[in-house]
Amino acid sequence: MELVFALGLIAFKVALLIAILLLLPLPLTWLERKIAGHMQQRMGPMRVGWHGLLQPVADGIKLLTKEDHIPAEADRFLFKLAPILALTPPFVVFVAIPFGESVSVLGAEITLYVSNMNVALLFVFAVIGIEVYGVIFGGWAANSKYAVLGSLRTCAQMISYEIPMGFAVIGVVMLAQSMSLLEIVRAQADVWNIVYQPVGFFVFFVAGLAEAQRIPFDLAEAEGDLGAGFHTEYSGIRFAFFMVSEYAIMLLVSVLSVILFFGGWNGVLIPLPPLLWFVLKVAFFLYVFMWFRFTFPRYRYDQLMAIGWKVLLPLSLANIIITGVAFL
Amino acid sequence: MSRAVDRSGTWIGWAFFADLGDALALTFSYMFSRSVTMQYPDQEKWLPYSRYRGHHFLKRDEEGEIKCVACELCARICPCDCIEVIPYEDEKGNRRPAKFEIDMARCLFCGLCEDACPADAIALGQQYEFSSFSSRDLVVGRDDLLGKPGKATTGGGVVAARLNTEQDVLVETSEPQGYDWWQNIRRT
């Protein structure tokens, strides 16, 4: 009985998580277009629903009913595999992400995470690395020059940001003495890591922008020079998969920034429910992503690699050494 | 903008990305500025200037008679051949148009008919909302042309408007004057 209840709870949590992750891109696309519009003194979507609120639904219906086109010269197996490969890892990663300590519902304590791994951070970085395969395969399988250029850029870009990103979080692990995200948040109950690790956060966030393939590092899908980059040849539901994956990773980087550097669900000054604090912080980072997108131009990819290897990597290494000397 | 250059010129500004920070501050302040988008059929409508060349109209003289003398000069000068005039002699012995048809679907609104008219009878007015589902409806006859609105007296302003689709598509306005749209828009 106990086991059935526990399994049922896990299944419910996973289902809830999947539902939230699949539905969240809808408000996020709306928000992104609204923010883009207002930053450029436009209105953004206005006509479908109140202030265009139903626009993402209309777009979704449009994508679902469109022809699912596979180019004649494409590698059909890889072409079909790539969107799934891009979509799955961001969803899998959220298994390891804690959203709070626990809440009591009907007398039972329910934890706000699916699993509390002791190597959660490692798991997150390992799984999210697989997502890049979706992008690379997608670009390769389409057999189109723009797509393959996009995926070549992704390969080059990935190596230059994954390493500084991994090094940047080592400082956090050293402070918390644990790789469990739950322990990392608990260690920040008094002082957030951003106070001790501003350089680490800077490196993590810049690398995170590259990870989420957002401007200023959206080289793989640079609209201006590559058509649409790796997903040039995709249409309909497969294109929607790539978009959902992109938003899930954007959400993941925001969530990780909050958990690793901004105290997770620990509040400051104003006593709000922990989950609300968490959501507010994540929402702020999502806004920052969109804010950056409509402020900065795109870096050239040699510039991105110069930033990755010559700035972020030395900075993250120095951060590890200084953290080690000061705290151990 | 010059502030960014000044501060990022020093090494401290360079180290802390003063230029990027200024860019972010600029876009953030723009986010809360008024949008330039004129929500045309729903909320606002632009009033044309008096020089605007819109839908044609035919004028009447002081006695209420149609000014047109059916000389057909407008039909002759029309570059897209969209005016058809058939003259007749009315009871006072004046030459008047029995038929005066303009095919708005073919008209390019050049205003040459207005220039050519020796009797100052035809002009291009202020109306610009006459789209139609059928090109047949765009052939406008003499009596319709007499009823069309004339030249605008004021223009360039923006008035509140409301889209009415109950029986026909209509953009209703109330005020004649309008306000300067750009007075509220941030332009630096």
| B23 and B68 part of one domain | no
Edge-first strand listing for the sheet containing B158-164: B44-46, B158-164, B170-173
Tokens of A240: 């929607």
How much is the average pLDDT of A51-67?
89
Selected residues 5-44 of chain A with any CB under 8 Å from a CB in chain B: 35, 37-43
Answer whether A295 touches B (CB < 8 Å): yes
Q: Taking all residues of chain B, what is their mean pLDDT, rounded to a whole number?
A: 84
For chain B, state the CA radius of gyration.
26
Q: Taking all residues of chain A, what is their mean pLDDT, rounded to a whole number?
A: 87
For residue B174, tell me if it sits in a domain. no
How far from A249 is each of A10, A21, A89, CA to CA, in Å?
23, 10, 9
CB-facing half-sphere around the CA of A135: CA atoms within 13 A: 30
pLDDT-based confidence at residue A300 (cuts at 50, 70, 90): confident
**Would you give the DSSP letter of residue B66?**
B
How far from B110 is each of B58, B95, B113, B156, CA to CA, in Å?
16, 26, 8, 20
Residue with tokens 């000389």: B71
Residue A4 pLDDT greater than 60, yes or no: yes
For residue B26, tell me if it sits in a domain. yes
A291 contacts in B (CB within 8 Å)? 24, 27-28
pLDDT-based confidence at residue B1 (cuts at 50, 70, 90): very low
Answer whether A287 touches B (CB < 8 Å): no
Answer whether A291 touches B (CB < 8 Å): yes
A39 contacts in B (CB within 8 Å)? 27, 30-31
Residue A59 pLDDT greater than 80, yes or no: yes
* Chain B: closest CA distance from residue A296 (Å): 8
Residue B3 pLDDT greater than 60, yes or no: no
* Chain B: closest CA distance from residue A217 (Å): 15
For residue B80, tell me if it sits in a domain. yes
* Chain A: closest CA distance from residue B62 (Å): 48
Q: Which amino acid is at B170?
A: L
For residue B71, tell me if it sits in a domain. yes
pLDDT tens-place string over residues A114-169: 888 888 889 998 998 888 888 888 888 888 888 888 888 888 888 888 889 989 99
Residue A38 to residue B34, Cβ atoms within 8 A: no
| B18 and B74 part of one domain | no
Answer whether A215 touches B (CB < 8 Å): no
Answer whether B1 touches A (CB < 8 Å): no
Residue A41 to residue B27, Cβ atoms within 8 A: no
Residue A291 to residue B20, Cβ atoms within 8 A: no
Given a contact cutoff of 8 angstroms between Cβ atoms, the answer to whether B119 and B58 are in contact is no
pLDDT of residue B76: 92
pLDDT-based confidence at residue B6 (cuts at 50, 70, 90): low
| Domain extent listing, chain A | 2-327
| Residue range(s) defining the domain that contains residue B9 | 1-32
**Would you give the DSSP letter of residue A101?**
S
For residue B153, tell me if it sits in a domain. no
What is the predicted ipTM?
0.81
pLDDT of residue B178: 77
Given a contact cutoff of 8 angstroms between Cβ atoms, the answer to whether A96 and A181 are in contact is yes
**CATH code at position B69:** 3.30.70.3270
Q: Which of B30, B33, B38, B42 to mutate to test the interface with A (most CBs of A within 10 A)?
A: B30
pLDDT of residue B9: 63
Q: How many helices (H) and strands (E) does chain B have?
A: 6, 8
Given a contact cutoff of 8 angstroms between Cβ atoms, the answer to whether A157 and A210 are in contact is yes
Answer whether B23 touches A (CB < 8 Å): yes
Q: Which residues pair with B124 in a beta bridge?
A: B56
For residue B186, tell me if it sits in a domain. no
**Weakest-pLDDT range from A38-42, A213-217, A218-222, B8-12:** B8-12
Q: Which residues pair with B87 in a beta bridge?
A: B97
Answer whether A294 touches B (CB < 8 Å): yes
In total, how many domains does chain B have?
A: 2
pLDDT of residue B58: 93
Given a contact cutoff of 8 angstroms between Cβ atoms, the answer to whether A134 and A86 are in contact is yes
| Neighbouring residues of B7: CB distance < 8 A, sequence distance ≥ 6 | B13, B18, B19, B22
How much is the average pLDDT of A219-225?
75
Given a contact cutoff of 8 angstroms between Cβ atoms, the answer to whether B144 and B106 are in contact is no
Given a contact cutoff of 8 angstroms between Cβ atoms, the answer to whether A114 and A14 are in contact is yes
pLDDT of residue B167: 65
Given a contact cutoff of 8 angstroms between Cβ atoms, the answer to whether B47 and B155 are in contact is yes
